[in-house]
Amino acid sequence: PEKTVGLEIRGLEVRYGPVRALRGVHLSVPGGAVAAVLGANGAGKTTLLRAVSGTLRFHRGAITSGTVAFGGSRLDGVPAAAVVRRGVVQVPEGRRVFARMTVAENLRAGALGVPGRLAATARERVLDLFPVLAERAHQRAGLLSGGEQQMLAIGRALMAGPSLLLLDEPTLGLAPLMAARIADTVRQINAQGTSVLLVEQNAAMALALAERAYVLEVGEVALSGPAADLAASDEVRRRYLGVG
């Protein structure tokens, strides 16, 4: 797909009260691309996604400087529900599905406010990507395996028909085979035209999926560039890929 104007983050500073979680971050995801964000625990990866999705204030955080734009217009200051309507949807860390609701109900929740015809198309796409969600449509989400819950969390986000998907640690805690399946799905979702901003602890997987990558260290971008270049860099190999 052609690379059009996507997500543009400029000079972003975020605070949680006195804690400076992001300190002047520049990052972009061209339309149609996959970009990855790597970094240790506490580096600010989740905070970055929250700043884009408009959910910072639910965590007592705020943007204190800089801008976030999507498709050429500003997202910072836009309430979370309106960010979703603009086509930007976050899949939170820890596959937070509604455990007591069924799979079908979880998917419907992701389509709240989406016109019926579009929701039906989105549902077809989701069940096509994740046939197991159709098999388990009437089961409580809390009874699914970890990998299935991650599929449901991604499926629920896709129900809103996003043009940019924000993925927070989608393979965390999953067995290698399941993690590889999730990676394949991310590739498929992107091939269908959805841009992806991927936060991952699994650096090898993230660098294999992404075109561009960013390494965050204590709230700042320490390294960035084509994912292949980062994968080849001694520093990244030593610190994030555990080789060399």
Beta strands in the chain (DSSP E): 7-16, 19-29, 34-39, 62-70, 73-74, 88-91, 164-168, 195-199, 212-217, 220-226
Quick one: 41 or 73, whose CB is closer to ligand ATP?
41
The answer to whether the beta carbons of residues 24 and 218 sit under 8 Å apart is no
Quick one: 161 or 219, whose CB is closer to ligand ATP?
219
Residues that bind ligand ATP (CB under 6 A): 16, 19, 21, 39, 41-47, 59-61
Kindly state the smallest distance separating residue 168's Cβ from ligand ATP, in Å: 7
Kindly state the smallest distance separating residue 202's Cβ from ligand ATP, in Å: 12
Quick one: 30 or 66, whose CB is closer to ligand ATP?
66
Which DSSP letter does residue 140 get?
B
Give the distance, in angstroms, between the CA of residue 89 and the centroid of all CA atoms in the same chain: 8
In order of 20, 74, 86, the CA distances from 222 in angstroms are: 16, 25, 30
Kindly state the smallest distance separating residue 3's Cβ from ligand ATP, in Å: 27
Quick one: 1 or 94, whose CB is closer to ligand ATP?
94
Give the count of beta carbons closer than 10 Å to the beta carbon of residue 193.
10
Burial call 135-144: b when 16+ CB within 10 Å, e when fewer:
ebeeebbeeb
Kindly state the smallest distance separating residue 49's Cβ from ligand ATP, in Å: 8
Kindly state the smallest distance separating residue 15's Cβ from ligand ATP, in Å: 9
Quick one: 75 or 103, whose CB is closer to ligand ATP?
75
